[in-house]
A and B are shown apart, each in its own frame.
Chain A
Amino acid sequence: AQRVTQPEKLLSVFKGAPVELKCNYSYSGSPELFWYVQYSRQRLQLLLRHISRESIKGFTADLNKGETSFHLKKPFAQEEDSAMYYCALSPNILTGGGNKLTFGTGTQLKVEL
Protein backbone atom coordinates (compact mmCIF):
# COMPACT_ATOMS: atom_id res chain seq x y z
CA ALA A 1 0.00 0.00 0.00
CA GLN A 2 1.15 3.51 -0.70
CA ARG A 3 1.37 6.17 1.97
CA VAL A 4 2.47 9.79 2.22
CA THR A 5 3.54 11.24 5.56
CA GLN A 6 3.82 14.92 6.37
CA PRO A 7 4.95 15.04 9.99
CA GLU A 8 4.22 18.71 10.65
CA LYS A 9 0.68 20.04 10.80
CA LEU A 10 1.91 23.60 11.18
CA LEU A 11 5.18 25.29 10.30
CA SER A 12 5.71 28.88 11.30
CA VAL A 13 8.68 30.88 9.98
CA PHE A 14 9.66 34.51 9.73
CA LYS A 15 9.74 36.33 6.42
CA GLY A 16 13.12 35.85 4.76
CA ALA A 17 13.90 32.65 6.65
CA PRO A 18 14.45 29.33 4.86
CA VAL A 19 11.52 26.92 4.59
CA GLU A 20 11.54 23.14 4.48
CA LEU A 21 8.28 21.20 4.40
CA LYS A 22 8.89 17.53 4.99
CA CYS A 23 7.36 14.68 3.03
CA ASN A 24 8.14 10.97 3.26
CA TYR A 25 6.49 8.27 1.25
CA SER A 26 6.03 4.54 1.20
CA TYR A 27 5.57 2.78 -2.12
CA SER A 28 6.85 -0.48 -3.58
CA GLY A 29 8.03 0.90 -6.87
CA SER A 30 9.06 4.17 -8.48
CA PRO A 31 6.31 6.68 -7.83
CA GLU A 32 5.74 10.13 -9.20
CA LEU A 33 5.74 12.82 -6.50
CA PHE A 34 3.94 16.15 -6.42
CA TRP A 35 3.40 19.16 -4.21
CA TYR A 36 -0.03 20.79 -4.23
CA VAL A 37 -0.85 24.08 -2.54
CA GLN A 38 -4.07 25.62 -1.32
CA TYR A 39 -4.08 29.35 -0.63
CA SER A 40 -6.78 30.84 1.57
CA ARG A 41 -10.20 30.61 -0.12
CA GLN A 42 -8.71 29.14 -3.30
CA ARG A 43 -8.85 25.70 -4.83
CA LEU A 44 -6.14 23.08 -4.53
CA GLN A 45 -3.57 23.58 -7.27
CA LEU A 46 -0.37 21.94 -8.46
CA LEU A 47 2.81 23.62 -7.26
CA LEU A 48 5.45 21.32 -8.71
CA ARG A 49 6.26 17.74 -9.64
CA HIS A 50 9.52 15.91 -9.34
CA ILE A 51 9.78 14.85 -12.97
CA SER A 52 9.85 18.48 -14.08
CA ARG A 53 12.84 19.34 -11.90
CA GLU A 54 11.69 22.93 -11.92
CA SER A 55 11.53 25.78 -9.46
CA ILE A 56 8.11 27.33 -9.00
CA LYS A 57 7.69 30.54 -6.98
CA GLY A 58 11.18 29.89 -5.61
CA PHE A 59 10.25 26.41 -4.33
CA THR A 60 12.19 23.28 -5.23
CA ALA A 61 11.82 19.65 -4.23
CA ASP A 62 14.25 16.80 -4.77
CA LEU A 63 13.21 13.18 -4.79
CA ASN A 64 15.50 11.14 -2.55
CA LYS A 65 14.76 7.50 -3.25
CA GLY A 66 17.18 6.27 -0.59
CA GLU A 67 15.39 8.20 2.13
CA THR A 68 12.00 7.98 0.37
CA SER A 69 11.58 11.71 0.82
CA PHE A 70 10.41 14.63 -1.27
CA HIS A 71 10.91 17.67 0.91
CA LEU A 72 9.82 21.09 -0.34
CA LYS A 73 12.32 23.92 0.13
CA LYS A 74 12.56 27.64 -0.37
CA PRO A 75 15.57 29.70 0.67
CA PHE A 76 13.68 32.87 1.64
CA ALA A 77 10.05 32.73 2.75
CA GLN A 78 7.62 35.40 1.59
CA GLU A 79 4.37 36.42 3.22
CA GLU A 80 2.42 35.22 0.17
CA ASP A 81 3.76 31.69 0.71
CA SER A 82 1.40 31.25 3.65
CA ALA A 83 -0.88 28.38 2.62
CA MET A 84 -1.64 24.70 3.12
CA TYR A 85 0.81 22.41 1.32
CA TYR A 86 0.06 18.81 0.42
CA CYS A 87 2.55 16.23 -0.76
CA ALA A 88 1.06 13.63 -3.11
CA LEU A 89 2.12 10.40 -4.76
CA SER A 90 0.99 8.83 -8.00
CA PRO A 91 1.75 5.24 -8.97
CA ASN A 92 4.18 4.77 -11.83
CA ILE A 93 2.12 5.13 -14.98
CA LEU A 94 3.43 1.82 -16.27
CA THR A 95 1.77 -0.06 -13.42
CA GLY A 96 -1.61 1.49 -14.08
CA GLY A 97 -3.80 3.54 -11.72
CA GLY A 98 -4.22 6.49 -13.98
CA ASN A 99 -3.08 9.70 -12.37
CA LYS A 100 -4.71 8.78 -9.06
CA LEU A 101 -3.06 10.64 -6.22
CA THR A 102 -2.47 9.65 -2.61
CA PHE A 103 -2.16 12.77 -0.45
CA GLY A 104 -0.48 13.46 2.85
CA THR A 105 -2.36 15.22 5.64
CA GLY A 106 -0.88 18.59 4.74
CA THR A 107 1.30 21.20 6.42
CA GLN A 108 0.01 24.70 7.10
CA LEU A 109 2.83 27.16 6.42
CA LYS A 110 2.57 30.49 8.19
CA VAL A 111 5.05 33.19 7.27
CA GLU A 112 5.25 35.89 9.89
CA LEU A 113 6.51 39.41 9.39
Chain B
Amino acid sequence: DTGVSQDPRHKITKRGQNVTFRCDPISEHNRLYWYRQTLGQGPEFLTYFQNEAQLEKSRLLSDRFSAERPKGSFSTLEIQRTEQGDSAMYLCASSLSGRNSPLHFGNGTRLTVT
Protein backbone atom coordinates (compact mmCIF):
# COMPACT_ATOMS: atom_id res chain seq x y z
CA ASP B 1 0.00 0.00 0.00
CA THR B 2 1.61 3.24 -1.14
CA GLY B 3 -0.99 5.48 0.45
CA VAL B 4 -0.67 7.77 3.45
CA SER B 5 0.55 5.89 6.50
CA GLN B 6 0.21 6.89 10.13
CA ASP B 7 1.89 5.53 13.20
CA PRO B 8 0.83 4.39 15.72
CA ARG B 9 -2.69 3.20 14.96
CA HIS B 10 -3.69 3.46 18.60
CA LYS B 11 -2.18 5.30 21.55
CA ILE B 12 -3.35 5.17 25.15
CA THR B 13 -1.73 7.65 27.49
CA LYS B 14 -2.26 9.11 30.91
CA ARG B 15 -3.31 12.70 31.37
CA GLY B 16 -0.32 15.00 31.50
CA GLN B 17 1.92 12.86 29.32
CA ASN B 18 3.31 13.95 25.96
CA VAL B 19 2.53 12.01 22.78
CA THR B 20 3.88 12.18 19.24
CA PHE B 21 2.29 10.87 16.08
CA ARG B 22 3.92 10.36 12.71
CA CYS B 23 2.52 10.68 9.20
CA ASP B 24 4.18 9.58 5.98
CA PRO B 25 2.43 11.12 2.98
CA ILE B 26 2.30 9.85 -0.57
CA SER B 27 5.83 10.50 -1.79
CA GLU B 28 5.11 12.97 -4.58
CA HIS B 29 2.61 15.01 -2.53
CA ASN B 30 3.92 18.35 -1.33
CA ARG B 31 0.92 19.25 0.84
CA LEU B 32 0.25 17.58 4.15
CA TYR B 33 -2.72 18.14 6.47
CA TRP B 34 -3.65 17.20 10.01
CA TYR B 35 -7.26 16.78 11.06
CA ARG B 36 -8.93 15.73 14.29
CA GLN B 37 -12.15 13.75 14.47
CA THR B 38 -14.24 13.15 17.58
CA LEU B 39 -17.19 10.82 17.91
CA GLY B 40 -20.16 11.90 15.84
CA GLN B 41 -18.30 14.71 14.14
CA GLY B 42 -16.63 15.17 10.81
CA PRO B 43 -12.90 15.73 10.58
CA GLU B 44 -11.83 19.19 11.80
CA PHE B 45 -8.86 20.94 10.23
CA LEU B 46 -5.85 21.50 12.47
CA THR B 47 -2.96 22.58 10.26
CA TYR B 48 -1.33 22.12 6.88
CA PHE B 49 2.10 22.24 5.29
CA GLN B 50 3.32 22.94 1.83
CA ASN B 51 6.68 21.24 1.66
CA GLU B 52 8.32 22.11 4.99
CA ALA B 53 6.42 25.37 5.54
CA GLN B 54 3.48 25.36 7.93
CA LEU B 55 1.07 27.67 6.12
CA GLU B 56 -2.00 27.65 8.34
CA LYS B 57 -3.01 26.64 11.84
CA SER B 58 -6.54 26.36 13.18
CA ARG B 59 -7.67 28.00 16.40
CA LEU B 60 -8.22 24.41 17.55
CA LEU B 61 -4.46 23.98 17.67
CA SER B 62 -3.64 25.17 21.17
CA ASP B 63 -0.13 25.94 22.41
CA ARG B 64 0.14 22.34 23.59
CA PHE B 65 0.04 21.13 19.99
CA SER B 66 2.97 21.41 17.62
CA ALA B 67 3.43 20.00 14.16
CA GLU B 68 6.56 19.76 12.08
CA ARG B 69 7.57 18.62 8.65
CA PRO B 70 11.30 19.16 8.77
CA LYS B 71 12.36 17.91 5.35
CA GLY B 72 9.10 18.32 3.52
CA SER B 73 8.43 14.59 3.69
CA PHE B 74 7.04 12.98 6.85
CA SER B 75 5.36 15.01 9.56
CA THR B 76 4.98 14.72 13.31
CA LEU B 77 2.22 16.01 15.55
CA GLU B 78 3.09 16.37 19.21
CA ILE B 79 0.65 16.99 22.02
CA GLN B 80 2.17 18.11 25.31
CA ARG B 81 0.52 17.69 28.70
CA THR B 82 -2.37 15.72 27.25
CA GLU B 83 -5.90 16.29 28.54
CA GLN B 84 -8.90 13.99 28.36
CA GLY B 85 -10.44 16.33 25.80
CA ASP B 86 -7.59 15.49 23.45
CA SER B 87 -9.00 11.97 23.01
CA ALA B 88 -9.87 11.71 19.33
CA MET B 89 -8.88 10.24 16.00
CA TYR B 90 -6.03 12.21 14.45
CA LEU B 91 -6.06 12.02 10.67
CA CYS B 92 -3.31 12.91 8.27
CA ALA B 93 -3.88 13.62 4.60
CA SER B 94 -1.70 14.63 1.69
CA SER B 95 -2.26 16.12 -1.75
CA LEU B 96 -0.56 17.72 -4.68
CA SER B 97 -0.65 21.50 -4.71
CA GLY B 98 -2.70 21.77 -7.88
CA ARG B 99 -6.11 23.33 -7.80
CA ASN B 100 -8.55 21.10 -6.02
CA SER B 101 -6.19 18.16 -5.95
CA PRO B 102 -7.99 15.60 -3.81
CA LEU B 103 -6.87 14.84 -0.30
CA HIS B 104 -5.71 11.28 0.38
CA PHE B 105 -6.23 10.26 3.99
CA GLY B 106 -4.39 7.86 6.22
CA ASN B 107 -6.09 5.42 8.57
CA GLY B 108 -5.58 7.74 11.50
CA THR B 109 -4.15 7.47 15.01
CA ARG B 110 -6.71 6.94 17.75
CA LEU B 111 -5.64 8.68 20.96
CA THR B 112 -7.20 7.81 24.29
CA VAL B 113 -6.24 9.92 27.29
CA THR B 114 -7.08 8.31 30.63
The segment from B18-26, B35-43, B63-71, B77-85 that touches chain A is B35-43
Q: Which of B48, B102, B105, B107 contacts A100 (CB 8 A)?
A: B48
Chain A CB within 8 A of B101 CB: yes
B100 close to A51 (CB less than 8 A) = yes
Instruction: Give A3 to B33 CA distance when docked, in angstroms.
Output: 19
Spell out A's residues near B (CB within 8 Å). Answer: 4, 9, 32, 34, 43-46, 49, 51, 86, 88, 90, 93, 97-106
| Chain A contact residues, majority secondary structure | mixed
- Tally B residues with Cβ within 8 Å of A: 27
User: Which chain B residues lie closer than 8 Å to A102 at the CB level?
Assistant: 45
- Using CB atoms and an 8 Å cutoff, list the residues of chain B in contact with chain A: 3-4, 31, 33, 40-45, 48, 50, 55-56, 91, 95, 97, 99-108
**CB contacts between A and B, total, < 8 Å:** 58
Q: Which of B3, B41, B43 has the most CB of A within 10 A?
A: B43
With a cutoff of 8 Å between Cβ atoms, the chain A residues found around residue B107 in the complex are 43
Interface centre among B42, B97, B101, B105 (most CB of A within 10 A): B42
Beyond A43-B107, A98-B31, A99-B31, whether A105 also contacts B56 by CB under 8 A is no
* Pair B95/A99 contact, Cβ less than 8 Å: yes
CA distance A45 to B97 in the complex (A): 18
Q: Which of chain B's residues have a CB closer than 8 A to the CB of A32? A: 100
> How distant is the Cα of A51 from the Cα of B27 in the complex, in angstroms?
26
- Find chain A residues with CB under 8 A from B48 CB: 98, 100
B33 to nearest A CB, angstroms? 7
A86-B42, A100-B33, A103-B43 known; A93 and B103 CB under 8 Å?
no
Q: Please, which residues of chain B bring their CB within 8 A of the CB of A98?
A: 31, 48, 50, 55-56, 97
Distance of A50 from chain B, by nearest CB (Å): 10
Contact A90 B43 (CB under 8 A): no
Query: Beyond A43-B106, A99-B95: 10 further Cβ-contacts under 8 Å?
Result: A32-B100, A46-B104, A49-B100, A86-B42, A90-B100, A98-B31, A98-B56, A99-B31, A99-B102, A106-B42
Across the interface, do A44 and B91 meet the contact criterion of CB distance under 8 Å? yes
